[in-house]
Amino acid sequence: MLQDEDWLRRAGASDEDIEVVRGRHRGGVSASRGGEYERAYALHRMIAMLAQGVETLQDGAAVLIQAVAPVDDVVVVDLPRFDFCQARLSASTRWIGTAAIAPAFEMQLRFCDASPDIHDFRLIVATPHPDVAALLEQSMPTHLNLHTVVEHFPEPRTLPEMAGVTGLSRTNADDLCVVRLESHRSDLVKLLAGSLGAVAPGTHWVVLEVVEWLESLQSTAPFRLRAIELDPPVEAALDRLEEIDDLEVLVEGGICYYRRQDAAHIVLEEGIIGRVGRESFNRFVRRIMESMPVTFEEFELHLT
């Protein structure tokens, strides 16, 4: 979800509701799910929704993704129509049921109903098991039926390319496209396939190329990652790391990663540090402040 706290309060959210949302932004929900499944579904949803929105990008449609990886929510907001879409994924359990989904969706439904801007929206449940998809469609509470879509999305291990074993070819990515568009679609598929070909499961998404692709359409649509506030200890640790020669540390979409470049700005090494807010990331911050590394080699010791 990509709503700020003020928006949630205007929508009638309680302090408890907002804490649930914060927990999801910190990655607590995603942590219990398979990253490969989320990455594969995010690619599938990105291609489909961008393809559907190519005609309206000039009119101000916005594509928003909660985090770089792994992805728990994939959200698309088409500003002229105020379409809202949230995907809830489950790859780790076969027996996910409405008891687990309904409370979260009911809270989201209440937020959307209370918003003066969102007039039409869909809540998506994705599962790799067709039998579970059928059961969910039958058992979804009546008041959620109008806004809920159940999708069967295959387990990515049935597509070795999706698991990063052999790289993602253009053909495989093309097969994932729901919408068949002749213009622009193949360029996007090629771009995403190329970006993911060298990306192993669990690493961060390559976002900048997607931004460049949108800009190549001469679109005025914003491509935004979820804004995140950094606590003072985190800011202090990142400031310290910025003093190390040839090391660049970035935070995008709640994910902190690093990049090492030479004098010619050629990237020598890059990788993910962690999701901001997780305890493992907080431990990393504490270690940095305790040891105060001054070289890349000293910094590298804290990555494991």
Per residue in 70-124, pLDDT (tens digit) is 233 333 333 333 334 444 444 444 445 566 666 666 666 666 666 555 555 556 6
First to last CA, the chain: 30
Residues 62 and 198 in one domain: yes
Residues 213 and 283 in one domain: no
Residues 213 and 248 in one domain: no
Count other Cβ atoms within 10 Å, centred on residue 130.
Answer: 10
pLDDT for 289 equals 92
pLDDT for 288 equals 92
pTM of structure: 0.38
Cα–Cα distance measured from residue 210 to residue 205, given in angstroms and rounded to the nearest whole number: 10
Q: Could you tell me the strand order of the sheet in which 247-252 lies? A: 247-252, 255-261, 267-275
Parts of the chain with a pLDDT under 50: 1-4, 24-36, 39, 49-95, 156-227
Q: Using the 3D structure, point to which of 225, 251, 285 is the last residue of a domain.
A: 225
Contact yes or no for 38/92 (Cβ under 8 A)? no
pLDDT for 213 equals 43
Residues 21 and 160 in one domain: yes
Q: Which domain holds residue 123?
A: 5-225
Cα–Cα distance measured from residue 273 to residue 230, given in angstroms and rounded to the nearest whole number: 15
Q: Using the 3D structure, point to which of 194, 225, 256 is the last residue of a domain.
A: 225
pLDDT for 217 equals 39
Residues 136 and 285 in one domain: no
pLDDT for 292 equals 92
Residues 221 and 107 in one domain: yes
Residues 30 and 47 in one domain: yes
Residues 119 and 248 in one domain: no
Q: Using the 3D structure, point to which of 225, 252, 285 is the last residue of a domain.
A: 225
